[in-house]
Amino acid sequence: MDANARKTKLEFLLQKQKEKERNDEIQMQLGWILEPFSTKEGIRLLDDEEREKVKTELIESIPIIEWVSLDLEKMNNKFVMHNVSSDKVALFLNDKELYTDNLIYLFLQDDLPPWSTFPWVKMPLSKVIENIIHLAAEDSYQQYVFCISPKFVIEFVEPDLITIAW
C-alpha cells in the first residue's frame, strides 16, 4: 500500500472514530432527555435539518436573553404551576386553548439556540402530560417543551414547578 492510500485509509478511520464518538455522546444525551418517560413509543429524535428549522422558529417566536436563556417574562402570558400533576396541567392547557394534538419539541437548557449540540425530540403533547410528574422531578438540566402551533413553552425549572408561557 502506497503512502497516499495509507493516508486516505487513516483519514477514513479517524473520521469513523469521530462519528462513533459523536453518536455515543448523542445517545448519552438522548438518554438524559428520555429518562423520565415510561415508554419511548411516539418519541422521535430530530435530525439536524429539522432541529435547525425548529430552533429558528423558537428564536423567532420566544424572547431569548443574551446569555442564552428563554426570557419568559416578555411573553404575553405566563403562569407558574406548583404541585404539578397530569390532570392539573391538562386542565390548564385546555382552559387556555393550548392543548393540541400537534407534536411538541423537548430539549435541554444547555441546548438553547444558537449553540445547540444536544439532541431534540419530537412527541405528542399527551406524552409530555402523561409523564409531567417525572419531567418536573428532574433537576439535573432545565428542560423545555416548545409547541409551534399554538405557540407556547413549558419550562421545567426546579422539582415540582413548571412555567407555562404563551
pLDDT, one tens digit per residue, over 116-143 is: 678 899 999 999 999 998 888 866 677 8
pLDDT digits (tens, 9 = 90+) for 9-46: 889 989 999 989 988 888 888 888 888 888 888 999 99
Work out the pLDDT band at 89, boundaries 50, 70, 90: very high
Check residue 68 and report its DSSP letter.
Answer: T
- In order of 29, 132, 142, 149, 155, the CA distances from 91 in angstroms are 31, 13, 23, 18, 17
DSSP 47: P
Report cis status (omega within 30 of 0) of the bond before 150: yes
Task: Report helix, strand and coil shares of the chain as percent, to nearest 5.
Answer: 45, 25, 35
pTM of the full predicted structure? Answer: 0.81
Residue 114 has pLDDT above 60, yes or no: no
Question: Could you give the percent of the chain with pLDDT greater than 70?
Answer: 92
pLDDT of residue 160: 86
Percentage, residues of the chain above pLDDT 90: 43
Average pLDDT of the chain to the nearest whole number: 87
Boundaries of domain holding 130: 3-165
- Contacts of residue 50, defined as CB under 8 A and 6 or more positions apart, other chains included, come to 122
Specify the amino acid at residue 51. R
Domain count, the chain: 1
Instruction: Give the three-state DSSP class for 94.
Output: helix
What does the pLDDT read at residue 166?
A: 95
